[in-house]
Structure 1
Amino acid sequence: MATITEKAQSFVKVDRRDGKLAMAHIHVAFIALLIGGLCGLLQTLVRSGQFTLPWGIGYYQLLTVHGVLLALILTTYFIFGFQIAAVSRTAGTLTDKQRMLGWIGFWTMTIGTTAAAVMVLLNEASVLYTFYAPLQAHWIFYVGLALVVVGSWIGGAGLIMKYREWRKTNPGEPSPLLTFMVIVNLTMWIICSLGVAVEVVFQLIPWSLGWVDKIDILLSRTLFWYFGHPLVYFWLLPAYMVWYVIIPKIIGGKIYSDALARLSFMLFLIFSIPVGFHHQLTEPGIDSFWKYLQVVLTMMVVIPSLLTAFSMFATFEIRGRQLGGKGLFGWFKKLPWKDARFVVPFIGMAAFIPAGAGGIINASNQMNQVVHNTIWVTGHFHLTLATTVVLTFFGAAYWLIPHLTGRVLTKQMNKLAIIQAIVWAVGMSIMSGAMHIAGLMGAPRRSDFSTYGDSAQATDWIGYQIAQAVGGTILFIGIILVLYIIVHLVWFAPKGETEFPIGEVSENAEKTPMVLENWKIWLTICIFLILFAYTVPVFDMLQNAPPGSKGYKFW
């Protein structure tokens, strides 16, 4: 715990101006957590059958607020806040131009978020976070989403400029690992978000404005899932950044291998995008060969995940044995179990084991038929994003926010943070476990079950819906606890210096080959796989589009 409250150390600090930009993003992220979390609690209470929404609030209105704010807004804003601080810390202070792009991106995203949120709250956009047609939202909702994407591109451009500047200043040298990881994540985000931008701008906005009578539903869903699955890795890779680079420093160890970390990120880049069809296995209009191909590519993502697991536990074991751990698992006891900066992300890591297994089931054709469109998928989603990713973000916030605000995480707040993570793990185990079991029994996702009345199926499911409400209530207590800690860290914690921990690479690690930073090679492979996986099926969709699905009224 000494590293949490150390005083007057010569830490390398993120520039105050860059820190202000990062904190602006983080503030919005935690506001989204509060509102989205409250809507999630209300959802579980409605599904239990023991609660009726007041004031004419619709169930799907809540579901849309919950999904959009937590899956899109919380994640995007926290990730950008973290990535801005990470690049500033490892590649150097942003230039005025780069920082200006960050602020333009922030305000563009925030205007878009506000516009979309207002339409949802007015019940003009209850279309869930996937916003599938033929459900139609108000055009302002779609414009708002487009602004969020465009704003992220603008903010990302500033960080990419900083990376290019570093490479020019340091030719022939591998870039700082954390900055490299940020650029990989941004590259993946920009490439994949082109799909949802095309869907929103060229299909959904003209349709919602009445400029076209119909749109091609299959093409719309394909464009969404071209974006939707890489979105999962856009959430996950910042958690991997914390695991690979930050956690080794926190536990007093070293990064097992710089080259292995870079390789795993590049594999995520090339294999995470051309895989959207595994979300569309039950849809007609897509030839089975292309579904099979994308399922194979989906399974390839298991490789960098296993590389990450190997690297992390090698780091843990080496450090544990340095501290005197004996026997097969003696090293495990030596890890810093009283340090929230380690414990909270570690719980997220542990949750990724069942989450990853569930993902393999979802992407497997035959097994997917059992769980497709059931609440099993929702349970899986809450293990991956709402446990693995979110707990890692919480753990990162406990040192990132004090570093940026010039404060320290006290022993009392550290203890409360560990309690919060345990509360979260208990609540999620109950809620997600009930979702998985109910899904295996056929309970549908995205339903409040009010339409099933007193049917035998509804009776079988009701116990699991009550369990979800119990778990959801515990989770909301966890949200209140983490928000209390965050408010304390921003405004009330004692003044002091907190380190932005960056791990050093082990002296036994192999030298990092520069081919891992040869973007021409990796982007060529990435683009080739995307074109190979999507060109023919998308061409078929365009050729066989339903009559009138593309015709403009004024044509």
Structure 2
Amino acid sequence: MGLKQTEAVTSIGTYPISKKDAKLYMSFMYVAFISLFIGGLMGLLQTLVRSGKLTLPAGIGYYQILTVHGVILGLVLTTFFIIGFQFSFISKSVGISNKQRKYAWLSFWVMLIGTIMTATTILLGKASVLYTFYTPLKAHPVFYIGLALVIVGSWIAGFVNWHQLYSWKKQHPGEKSPLPAFMVTINMIMWFIASLGVAVSVLFLILPWSLGYTATVNVLLTRTLFWYFGHPLVYFWLLPAYMAWYTIIPKIIGGKIFSDSLARMSFILLLFFSIPVGFHHQLTEPGIEPMWKFIQVTLTMMVVIPTLMTAFSLFATFEITGRKKGYTSLFGWFKKLPWKDVRFLAPFIGMLFFIPGGAGGIINASHQLNSVIHNTIWVTGHFHLTVAASVLLTFFGISYWLLPHLTGRKLTPQINKLGIIQTYIWTIGMTIMSTAMHIQGLLGGPRRSNFSEYGGTDQAHEWIWYQLAQAVGGTILFIGIILMVYIFIKLTFLAPKGIEEYPLAEEEVDAQPTPAWFDNWKLWIGITVALILFAYSMPVMDMIQNSPPGSPPFTWPIGNN
């Protein structure tokens, strides 16, 4: 065994991170930041091609770089960063044993092998199918096998996280789960249940078709299974940002967690309403009864509740902390927030981006409004506001203290200043690019297109200024990526040796006790499964029963009948 877990734990961050632990967590970070550079470069090339200012050399296809950009940033960067961060987050509160660490390493290597397999097929031009891998677009079988390995590796990480909390609970009977462990457990439960959909789609539908065992594929069913996974994927990205907002930011500003119970309830509600809502991505697709679309749109709107709970909790923390420091005027507490600390500034700007991002999400999920912007580049702009702005800025903010904590170095004033510059560069670039995408989308600009497909047309002349703005914004963002990679190198290898705090906040001393029923995992998982069965059982049965002739939905490997 590694760290012994025998003493009663009253502190949220009692367990230290050993050198062996740090090596594991940093391995995930290395892959994440390499992915940031590669995916960012592909994004820059995309914007330049769309503006008509660049022709790709050596026969490289536009959709090839689009797929690299989507897969590397949307799946690889996020998943590796999240799992590395979550391992450190949960281990800080409940510890990690030698056996658990070995399985954590297994998860890393399985994910890395899958990533290499998938990336190879894309670079060879065998898998230009976008990160959604929508059928009837077909990729090489190795692409799908690689993605399956990435998912399996993440499942192993989830099982390790659950066992960490289980081991802690056995040694601390009757005690509530530490908040970080509770949050990680919720996120990995959601991820496991959601990724079952894409696993079923890949293993039983797409892979047999890609291998030639079946002549056709049930397009509607594969898309439905993808979006069963694809929408909670966004929350898999977002919940680690929420973890930092709830538990890290209060410590950085010198405060405490406003309400442990409110934080847990918001995570539980996000678990309930993140998965059974995929139809709001398929509002224009035939073959799904309008009633089921309406039900899932209604469930989608329910996520507004935990989102507003989070906003209330955060600003309550800001105000209470400021008033405890003696700032009595109406907004004095706001003025005195640590704006010159990049650990606070980057996540806070990420929170601000989430306001228009959330408003755009309501539009995307509204049937009538969705018909205006569906499959336009508006959706891409929304996607960048939520994931590439809110989530990534928070991940950058986490990096400024997590990397030096793991590598035994210091966040120096010079690096902090560079981080502030990087944050503003990212903010300017993302504002320009996403705004241009939203406007072009309202004018009917398609979601995935390049200049050569529309050059010389009336639409191209109408959109050209917005495409040029996207290229300008994308260029600024790539400068921000280069600076962030430089900061990563500094914090990992070059900054002065020292001790950097893992800033986990404590709960308010006079806070109401957290009810024991928050740890009733059978209840929360049961309600989630019930909602999923209610929202998906009948529509999916209908898709299977009415699948096109010659494409049995689950054929392995009986042939082409």
Deviation at 1:324, TM superposition (A): 2.9
Give SS of 1:538's match: helix
Per-residue deviation at 1:133? 0.6
Match of 1:62 among 60, 65, 71: 65
CA distance in structure 2 between the aligned counterparts of 1:259 and 1:529, rounded to whole angstroms? 23
Instruction: Report the alpha carbon displacement of residue 450 of structure 1 after superposing the two structures with TM.
Output: 1.7
How far the C-alpha of 1:289 sits from its partner, in A, is 0.5
Match in the other structure for 2:121: 119
**Matches of residues 352-371 of structure 1 in structure 2 within 5 Å?**
352-371=354-373
Matches within 5 A, 1:290-305: 290-305=292-307
Is the 8 Å Cα contact of residues 42 and 68 (structure 2) preserved in structure 1?
Answer: yes
Deviations 1:264-306 (A, max 9, x none): 0000111100000000000000000100000000000110000
CA deviation after TM superposition for structure 1 residue 252, in Å: 0.3
Q: Distance in 2 between matches of 1:516 and 1:159?
A: 18
1-structure distance, mates of 2:453, 2:288: 32
Native 8 Å contact 1:102 1:156 kept in 2: no
8 Å Cα contact 1:325/1:333 also seen in 2: no
CA deviation after TM superposition for structure 1 residue 11, in Å: 8.9
1:194 corresponds to: 196
Task: Select which of 37, 40, 43 maps to 2:43.
Answer: 40
Asked if 1:27 corresponds to 2:33, the answer is no
1:76 counterpart residue number: 79
Partner residue, 1:323: 325
How many angstroms apart in 2 are the aligned matches of 1:47 and 1:324? 53
Q: Answer whether contact 2:247 2:505 (CA < 8 A) is retained.
A: yes
Pairwise CA distance, 1:508: 3.2
Correspondence for 2:8: none
Shift of 1:554: 6.7
2:456 pairs with 1:454 = yes
Contact 2:49/2:450 (8 A) holds in 1? yes
CA distance in 1, matches of 2:167, 2:503: 23
1:12 and 1:499 in contact (8 A); partners too: no
8 Å Cα contact 1:64-1:120 kept in structure 2:
yes
Local SS of the residue matching 2:226: helix
Rounded Cα–Cα distance in structure 1 between residues aligned with 2:298 and 2:201: 25
Q: Judge conservation of contact 1:15–1:88 (CA < 8 Å) in 2.
A: no
Other-structure match for 1:145: 147
Relative to structure 1, the CA distance from residue 554 to residue 217 in structure 2 (aligned partners, 3 Å threshold; closer, same or farther) is closer
The one of 157, 179, 182 aligned to 1:180: 182
Partners of 1:264 and 1:554 in 2: CA distance: 47
What whole-Å deviation, never above 9, does each CA across 1:309-335 have from its counterpart, x for those lacking one?
Answer: 000000011112222323221111111
Q: What is the DSSP-based 3-state SS (H/G/I as helix, E as strand, rest coil) of the residue aligned with 2:181?
A: helix
Q: Check if 1:88 corresponds to 2:91.
A: yes
1:531 alignment partner in structure 2: 533
Equivalent residue for 1:7? none
* 8 Å CA contact retained: 1:325, 1:332: no
Task: Select which of 219, 222, 226 maps to 1:220.
Answer: 222
Counterparts of 1:379 and 1:386, CA distance in 2: 10
1:15 corresponds to 2:21: no
Q: Residue type of the partner of 1:381? A: F
Q: Aligned equivalents of 1:232 and 1:68: distance in 2?
A: 14
Gaps of 5+ in 2: 1-12
CA contact (8 A) 2:158 2:188 kept: yes
Counterparts of 1:369 and 1:309 in 2: how far apart (Å)? 29
Once the two structures are overlaid, the 10-residue window that deviates more, 545-554 or 286-295, is 545-554
Aligned to 2:549: 547
- Report what 1:519 is aligned to: 521
* Distance of 1:547 and 1:385 partners within structure 2: 39
Relative to 1, partners in 2 of residues 1:167 and 1:11: Cα closer, same or farther, differing over 3 Å?
A: closer
Structure 1 residue 167 displacement after superposition: 1.1
Q: Is the 8 A contact 1:345 1:388 kept in 2?
A: yes
- Percent identity, aligned pairs only, is 64
CA drift of 1:461 comes to 0.3
8 Å CA contact 1:324–1:334 kept in 2: the answer is: no
Indicate conservation of the 8 Å contact 1:361/1:368, yes or no. yes
Deviation (angstroms), 1:449: 3.4
| 1:407 and 2:413 aligned | no
* 1:482 matched residue in structure 2: 484
| C-alpha contact (below 8 Å) 2:551/2:560 kept by paired residues | no
The amino acid of 1:422's aligned partner reads: Y
Aligned letter for 1:76?
T
Could you tell me how far apart the structure 1 residues matched to 2:216 and 2:15 are? 56
Tell me what 1:497 maps to: 499
Larger deviation, residues 94-103 vs 428-437: 94-103
> SS where residue 373 of structure 1 aligns?
coil
Whole-angstrom CA distance in 1 between matches of 2:276 and 2:14: 42
Secondary structure (helix, strand or coil) at the match of 1:429 reads helix
Cα distance, 1:553 vs. partner? 2.0
Match of 1:432 in 2: 434
Instruction: Give distance in 2, aligned partners of 1:486 and 1:220.
Output: 38
Question: Conserved in 2, the CA contact under 8 Å of 1:323 and 1:334?
Answer: no
Counterpart in the other structure of 1:231: 233
Q: Which residue of 2 aligns with 1:242?
A: 244
Pairing 1:372–2:360 present = no
CA distance in 2, matches of 1:140, 1:99: 29
Q: Whole-Å Cα distance in 1 between the matches of residues 560 and 295 of structure 2?
A: 40
- Counterpart contact for 1:438–1:461, Cα < 8 Å: yes
- Aligned to 1:476, the other structure's residue is in SS state helix
